[in-house]
């Protein structure tokens, strides 16, 4: 079921001409962005309509509808462009604005602040360690200010105990998200390095294939330029293997019968 859903999303929002030109890492990001925005858009549109119907203020409704619009624009942009950085940052800016707005106005008696706990994971997943840390700082810094100083900033007032727990827990989740992304990058880099080594080794290996003309008397091999080479020279030139020479029992018996008989008597070779 999940495989069918994934294939459907890819066909609708990730055209083949785009997929063929982007890296595996970019495909990972795009698939996740498309899946998350497709789930978020109906909820945002629904919240926007509900806020209007129950009379919670046009500003609340507009915040949800604006973010939904940014997500829709992100999907359309990713269908057309190979470089998704602009789309990712636009969507992240919309997501950040919505979270900060909901925290500042205390939507649903401040419970919307719980959505902040997924933000560090999304930021590091989408933008990596450095830029992800920047996005976290740009959002969590202002959020901590409105939580700690609600009176001068006219934001929703949380209890003192909740303020401390919120700041500590969000800081801890950000640190854990950073650590997880660090581990992912470390092992991804190791896999890529091993892949490069294997590809280099494969390039160094040359195979003999096809018909090889060989002399029926002296066993020399004719190369592509018409020159005759000794068998060991030809193999070394075309495979990179190094030859070591010896003599088999049959040839030893023909060329040096005395040595052959001596070795047989000593039991070093079989007659």
Residue whose token pair is 């008397």: 217
- Can you read off the two tokens belonging to residue 1? 């079921």
pLDDT in tens, 233-265: 877 777 767 777 778 888 878 888 888 788 777
**Residue 51 near residue 30, CB atoms below 8 Å:** no
The owner of tokens 């902040």 is 116
Name the nearest CA neighbour of 229 among 206, 248, 212: 212
Residue range 162-182, pLDDT digits in tens: 888 989 999 999 999 999 999
DSSP 107: T
Q: How far apart are CA 146 and CA 175, in angstroms?
A: 21
**pTM above threshold 0.75:** no
Q: Which pLDDT score is estimated for 204?
A: 60
Residue with the bigger pLDDT between 170 and 232: it is 170
Region of 154 (left: φ > 0; alpha: ψ -120 to 50; beta: rest) is left
C-alpha distance across the termini of the chain, in Å: 69
Question: Can you tell me the distance from the alpha carbon of 103 to that of 220, in angstroms, rounded to the nearest whole number?
Answer: 83
Domain boundaries, the chain: 2-202, 213-240, 246-271
């Amino acid at each position: 079921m999940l495989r069918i859903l994934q294939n459907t999303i890819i066909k609708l929002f990730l055209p083949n001409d785009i997929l063929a030109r982007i890296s595996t890492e970019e495909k990972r990001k795009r698939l996740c962005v498309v899946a998350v925005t497709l789930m978020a858009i109906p909820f945002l549109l629904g919240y926007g309509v509900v806020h209007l119907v129950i009379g919670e203020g046009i500003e609340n409704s507009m915040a949800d509808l604006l973010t939904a619009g940014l997500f829709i624009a992100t999907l359309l942009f990713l269908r057309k462009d190979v470089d998704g950085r602009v789309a990712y940052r636009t969507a992240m800016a919309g997501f950040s604005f919505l979270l900060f707005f909901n925290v500042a106005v205390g939507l649903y008696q401040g419970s919307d602040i719980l959505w902040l706990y997924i933000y560090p994971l999304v930021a590091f997943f989408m933008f990596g360690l450095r830029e992800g840390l920047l996005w976290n700082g740009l959002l969590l810094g202002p959020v901590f200010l409105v939580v700690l100083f609600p009176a001068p900033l006219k934001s929703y007032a949380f209890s003192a105990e909740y303020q401390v727990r919120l700041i500590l827990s969000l800081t801890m989740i950000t640190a854990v998200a950073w650590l997880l992304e660090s581990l992912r990058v470390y092992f991804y880099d190791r896999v890529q390095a091993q892949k490069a080594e294997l590809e280099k080794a494969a390039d160094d290996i040359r195979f003999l294939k096809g018909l090889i003309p060989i002399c029926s008397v002296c066993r020399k091999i004719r190369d592509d330029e018409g020159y005759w080479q000794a068998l060991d020279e030809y193999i070394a030139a075309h495979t990179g293997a190094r030859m070591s020479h010896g003599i088999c029992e049959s040839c030893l018996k023909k060329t040096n019968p005395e040595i052959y008989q001596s070795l047989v008597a000593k039991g070093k070779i079989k007659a």
